[in-house]
Structures are given as structure tokens and as C-alpha cells.
Structure 1
Amino acid sequence: MKCKKILLSALVLLGLACTSRGQKINGLSFVASPNKISKKQIIPVQKVSANYVSLMPFGFIRSLDEPLVKFNEKWQWFGETSAGVSQYADLFKSNDIQVMLKPQIWVHGGLYTGKIAMNDEESWKRLESSYRDFITTFAALAEKEGIPVLCIGTELEQFVQNRPEYWTALIVDIRKIYSGKLTYAANWDEFKRVPFWGELDYIGVDAYFPLTPAKKVDKEAFKVAWNSHKEEIKAVREKYQKPVVFTEYGYRSVHHTGREPWDAKRIEGQVDLQAQQLALEALYETFWQEPWFAGGFVWKWFADHENVGGPNNNRFTPQNKPAEITIKNAYQQ
């Protein structure tokens, strides 16, 4: 057991050493599936030259003011549970792909997690206790599996703003059981107000910044639109002297993809494969050469590669679209 622990610690340090030497995190947000994965699901990840994936186990709450986080339930998909994370992580690591563990909350009905807020002090305390159980369970798993990066929360703005002392104490507790690097996935309109960046290792941003309302993407116009957002990101980075990682980034293959990049409501039609491609190119050309920028994770990548995406799909996944080649070209550099 002692030898195993030493080996796992060495794997964590190796992953941290790679990023500290300047190698970008060329990552994919790997969506959990109902089943175990195999080498078949790893090969497409390798083909786009990704060196990281984020694994996303889920906790569930019934409403925005419900304090109980349920996780590792029998009815969850395998990939959303501790057992699934272990199986996925072991397979990725054995194929030289590192992992960021990114436990997330799902609110019933798909309501936005940034609005989770309690109505009274007792409920806040219950939420704090329940979330602590959730995140420390996965922090301990990340330590056991030698996972080099842990994201301690995703888009929880009201929870963070209302309970800053809780989050500061939580980070201390996580560091007692997890020796890797920590980040938090702040929404694009939240990251400037997160009070605890100084306590983490990366400034994490879910980078769905609005860029242009245009129907068709013009790459140069996208790059110009990035300028003001980039300056705001740099200002936060300079304040805390931490590298920035895009914990999520991506665009849909749809008209007006830069208007509200977070928008997932248009289910069908208006397919624009080139828009997704050019929007990604603009992002890579804007950020990937910056020394303070650590890299990021494309949203999103499914295990069943051969049956997702494709030329008639207007969703976020780049799979089986021209954007897949765009990502490969960027990640190979």
C-alpha cells in the first residue's frame, strides 16, 4: 500500500511538472456514459492530440433552494459515480492522457447552478455540509487515483458570493486530503468576483463570452471581440499571479454561435459547421500562445464517437465535424 501511494504521488507530480514547464492543457470535456469505457473510446481522444480530459461525476439537487446533494446513487449513470471515475481515469492514464476531475451539480429541470441559494441560515448550513461530503468524497478519490487537477465547483456564483468563508475553509479541508492542483470553474460573467483565487492554483473560467451577434462568423471580427474580455482575464490573472485555464470552452455549429455561446436552446436547424470551426480558431489564436494561459477543455466530447455529431448536428460537440480537425491542428502545435 505504501509503494502504491508513492507511485500515485509520483504520477501527480509528473502531471504537474508537465504543465509547469509550459505544456498546454489540451483538453476535452469527456461526458459520462451509462457504461464502462474501453480502448475504443480512447482512440478518438488520442487522434485529436488531447493530453487531458475532464471527468465529470454528478451530484443532483431537486431545486435551487434544496440543500441536499445526492450522489453515487444506484440510478446514476456509471460514469457519473466514483466507480465510473476510477475506471475512466485508470484507462486514460494508462494511455498517457491526464485527468482533471470536475464534480458538478445538476439541478432538476436543468436550472442554472449559479442561482442556487438558500432561504435561511439552517438551509445554508445543510447545503454546506452536503456539498462538503460531495466534493471531499471526490477529492479523496482524486488523491487515490493520482489525478493531477481537481475542480472544486462549477458555476456556483450565488453559493460562492453568499458564503465566502465556507469556501475558504473548504479549500483548506480539501488540501488536507488532496495533494494535486486546485481550480474552480467560474462562469464567464462570474470570474471577476470569485474571492478565493489566491487560495487555488489555477483561475478557472467557463469561457462562453458573448462576442458578436452576427449570423456568420468572421474570424478576425471574433478576435477583435475577444480583446476586451482578454484584458479583463489578464487583469484578474495579474492580481492573483495564477495561470488561467478555460475549464470549459466551445461553440455550437450553428448560426449566431458567438451571440450567446452558452445558449443550448436551439435544438435543430441553422447548422453552420464553419462557424464552429472559425470561432475555435479565433480562440486558439487569441490565447494558446500566451505564457500565462494554461490551456483548456473543449465542451463537449462523447464516448460513443462514431454515433455523435456529424454534418447535420448543431450542438456543441466537435465530433465528426470540421471542428474536430481544427482542434487536432491546434493541439498538435
Structure 2
Amino acid sequence: MKTKKLLFLLLILLNFSCKSQAKKINGVSFVASRDSISNQHINPVLKAQSNYVALMPFGFIKELASPKIIHNTNRQWFGETKNGLLQYAKRFQKEKLSIMVKPHIWVWRGEFTGNIKMDSEEKWNTLENSYREFILTYAKAAENLNADILCIGTELEQFVVNRPAYWQKLIQEIRKVYKGKLTYAANWDEFKRVSFWKDLDFIGIDAYFPLSDKKSPTTAEYELGWKLHKEEVLRVQQQFNKPVLFTEFGYRSVDFNGKEPWDSSNVEGAVNLEAQANALQAIYNQFWKEEWFAGGFIWKWFHSHDKVGGEKNNRFTPQNKPAEELIRKLYGL
């Protein structure tokens, strides 16, 4: 009789352990604003069944060949600074949400950060020192907050490819001041060439893979478009034996949103709420049940929930669209 009870308890514990291990990161990318945040800004995130938020302080450079990063100044929006990060994070943590600190760089006129590249060794050294100061500022802040994850960079392919030794050393320096988990947000066409995945805790991917040329694909058609990309993601995952985290994922509510999902230009197109929802359902179907997949952060979520998104909006946010209801359902599973 005692043996049966013991076996029964072991089965319960095993079941509980499996469920705990299967817990996914169901995150939103929470956009920095001019203002501090309060419960009115947090409640919609909670309603969406999210258990994580990515908070995104910013540094700025003038042009792709400029080596100096301006950051944490009183000329920036509050949410883009260290004090803003601390205020946002502490409010979310009060509601039991976990935090990923994910610093970004903005290049003037919105140039793609993956093309940041210096034209002399002197400039490379200046950039390296400037970036070290920038990222260590937020590594220390992340440690102060006991943040769960720190993303050490976002879509910096030319910097990463051209200066591998610098990044290896930088990761060691970050580890000295921050004790949580580390990732890097590689662009969808960059992640195969990142040399330092073995030194991080997650393989991070901004998952804007092209999936379909159709105007309004079905969920099944989006899933078909994932086949080759998923095989490549799995190949890299198995090579480094690290869980994969979609540091960003999302789709615009617009026609042809699977053709170039990374396109955030202001070119207007016909609103297509169904295409957005179908694409989100497809990415969830393809990845969220995989043991090697850690979860992801939807792009993107604004603090003033009642003033953004909506059925006439063709941008990335799921807010006040059928996609928000879908995210609530999927994140609640």
C-alpha cells in the first residue's frame, strides 16, 4: 500500500515537473514612452495573459559609420533611459511579470542597425568602447532589478561579424556584473552567422522570416512557409544545444504581410486583420509546442492601450484588433 502511494506521489511530482519545464515565455515588447507607467498601462498586458515584458532603453548614433552612442540623457524619452527602465520594470514586477532588458540602438533616419560598420580601426575602437559603456549601463541596471534575461544587442550583424573577439570579451565582462540569463537578438537572416551562441543562454532571433507572397494567406499557407526556415532554426539549435527564443515576432495587419514581414515602412496598404491573426496562429502552431523553443516577445505593445491599434490600423501592434484576442487565447493555454 505504501509503495502504491509513493508511486502515485512520484507521478504527480513528475507531471508537475514536466509542466513547469514546458512553461513558455509569452512576452510582449513594451514600447518606451515619454511618461512613467501605472496600473492603467500594465493591466492590458496582464489581460493579454503575458508573463514577460521586454523593456527597451535606447542609444542613438548619427549615421552608420558614426562610432559614438548617445544614451541615458535628459533629452531622451523617459522610458528610453535607465531611470525609465527601472520605473517600468519595478511596476511590472509588482504584478509578477518577468523582465527581459533589451537595449536598442537607433540610427538617424531609421537606417538599419545591421549595417553599422566603421571604416577605420580607430573608429572601431571608439565604437567598441562606446557600446561597452552603453550595454554595461543596462547590464548593471538589469542586475539591480534582478531581471530574468538581458539581451546584449539587437540586430547588429556587421558589428558582430567584423569584431568577434570584442564580443567574446564583452560577454565575459557582462557576466561579471549581471548574473541572469543572456541572449542576443539576431535578425532573421543573421542568426546562422553569429559566432558566440555557445556563450549565451538562448539563441535569440527576431523572427521576421518571409513566409508567403500571397495577399492574404491562410494559417496553413503560413505554416507551409515556415518549413525550410524551421529546419534551419533547428539545425542551429542542435549545433549549439541552446533553447531558441524569438526576441521579436509579429506581423502587420496588412495585405501581403508574409512577403517581407520585417517591413516597418510608412507605406500604407489595405488593412488585413485576418492575415495578421492567421500569421500569429501559424507561428504559435509551429513553435510553441517544441521542447527546444523557449517562447517569444510579440512586436509591439504601446503603453496607451486605448489610443493605439484598432481595426483601421495596419501596423504591427495587435492591440484592439482580433490579434489581441487571439494572443490572449494562445498565451492563456
TM-score normalised by L of structure 1: 0.94
Larger-Rg structure: 2
Distance of 2:173 and 2:266 partners within structure 1: 41
Following superposition, the deviation at residue 266 of structure 1 comes to 4.4
Matches within 5 A, 1:294-309: 294-309=294-309
Contact 1:114 1:155 in 2 (8 A): yes
- Name 1:158's counterpart in structure 2: 158
Paired AA for residue 287 in structure 1: F
- CA-CA distance at 1:106 after TM superposition: 0.3
Which residue in the other structure is 2:29 paired with? 29
Aligned to 2:180: 180
1:249 aligns with 2:249: yes
Task: Please say if 1:138 is aligned against 2:132.
Answer: no
2:199 — aligned with what? 199
Q: What does residue range 72-87 of structure 1 map to in structure 2 within 5 Å?
A: 72-87=72-87
Cα distance in 1 for residues equivalent to 2:262 and 2:74: 31
Structure 1 residue runs without a partner (length 5+) = 1-16
Deviations 1:94-144 (A, max 9, x none): 001111000010000000000000000000000000000000010000001
Match of residue 50 from structure 1: 50
Q: CA deviation at 1:265?
A: 2.0
> Which residue number in structure 2 is paired with residue 331 of structure 1?
331
The answer to whether structure 1 residue 117 and structure 2 residue 117 are counterparts is: yes
Give the drift of 1:175.
0.1
Shift of 1:264: 1.5
Aligned: 1:235 with 2:244: no
Post-superposition offset of 1:22: 2.5
Normalising by structure 2, what TM-score?
0.94
State whether residues 250 and 300 of structure 1, in contact with CA within 8 Å, keep that contact through their aligned partners in structure 2: yes
Post-superposition shift, 1:188?
0.2
Structure 1 pair 267–191 and aligned structure 2 pair: CA distance change class (3 A): same
Map Cα deviations across residues 239-272 of structure 1 (whole Å, 9 max, x no partner): 0000000000000000000000011224434000
Which residue does 2:5 correspond to in 1? none
Aligned residues between the structures: 317
Does residue 283 (structure 1) correspond to residue 294 (structure 2)? The answer is no
Give the whole-Å Cα distance in 2 for the aligned partners of 1:309 and 1:139: 32
> Contact (CA 8 Å) 1:268, 1:313: kept in 2 or not?
no
Name the residue aligned to 1:271. 271
Give me the whole-angstrom Cα distance separating, in 1, the residues matched to 2:256 and 2:269: 12
Aligned partners of 1:306 and 1:269: how far apart in 2? 23
Residue 223 (structure 1) aligned with residue 250 (structure 2): no
Q: Secondary structure at the match of 2:28?
A: strand
Which range is displaced more, 149-158 or 18-27? 18-27
- Cα distance between partner residues in 1 of 2:21 and 2:94: 22
The alpha-carbon distance between structure 1 residues 242 and 54, as it changes in their structure 2 partners (threshold 3 A), is: same
> What residue is the counterpart of 1:65 in the other structure?
65
CA deviations over 1:1-23 (Å, ceiling 9, x no partner)? xxxxxxxxxxxxxxxx9998231
State the SS of the aligned residue for 1:189: coil
- 1:183 partner SS: strand
Q: Which range moved further: 74-83 or 262-271? A: 262-271
**Which residue number in structure 1 is paired with residue 38 of structure 2?**
38
Q: Distance in 2 between matches of 1:174 and 1:266?
A: 36
Between the two proteins, what is the percent identity of the paired residues?
56
- Asked whether the equivalents of residues 267 and 314 of structure 1 are also in contact (C-alpha less than 8 Å), the reply is no
User: Structure 1 residues 51, 133: closer, same or farther in 2, change over 3 A?
Assistant: same
SS of equivalent to 1:74: coil
1:109 corresponds to which letter in structure 2? Answer: R
Question: What amino acid is aligned across from residue 213 of structure 2 in structure 1?
Answer: P
Unaligned runs of 5+ in 2: 1-16
Measure, in 2, the Cα distance between the counterparts of 1:176 and 1:18.
Answer: 32
Structure 1 segments, 4+ long, off by >6 Å, are: 17-20
Q: Contact 1:19 / 1:25 at 8 angstroms: preserved in 2?
A: no
Q: Name the CA distance, whole Å, in 2 between partners of 1:82 and 1:315.
A: 28
Q: Which residue identity is paired with 1:36?
A: S
> What does residue 103 of structure 1 align with?
103
8 Å Cα contact 2:255-2:269 kept in structure 1: no
1:127 corresponds to which residue?
127
Q: How much is the aligned-residue C-alpha RMSD, in angstroms?
A: 1.3
Q: Partner residue of 2:91?
A: 91
Counterpart CA distance in 1 for 2:18 and 2:161 is 33
- Distance (whole Å) between structure 2 residues aligned to residue 319 and residue 214 of structure 1: 24
**What SS does the corresponding residue of 2:204 show, helix, strand or coil?**
strand
Q: CA deviation at 1:221?
A: 1.0
- SS, match of residue 214 in structure 1: coil
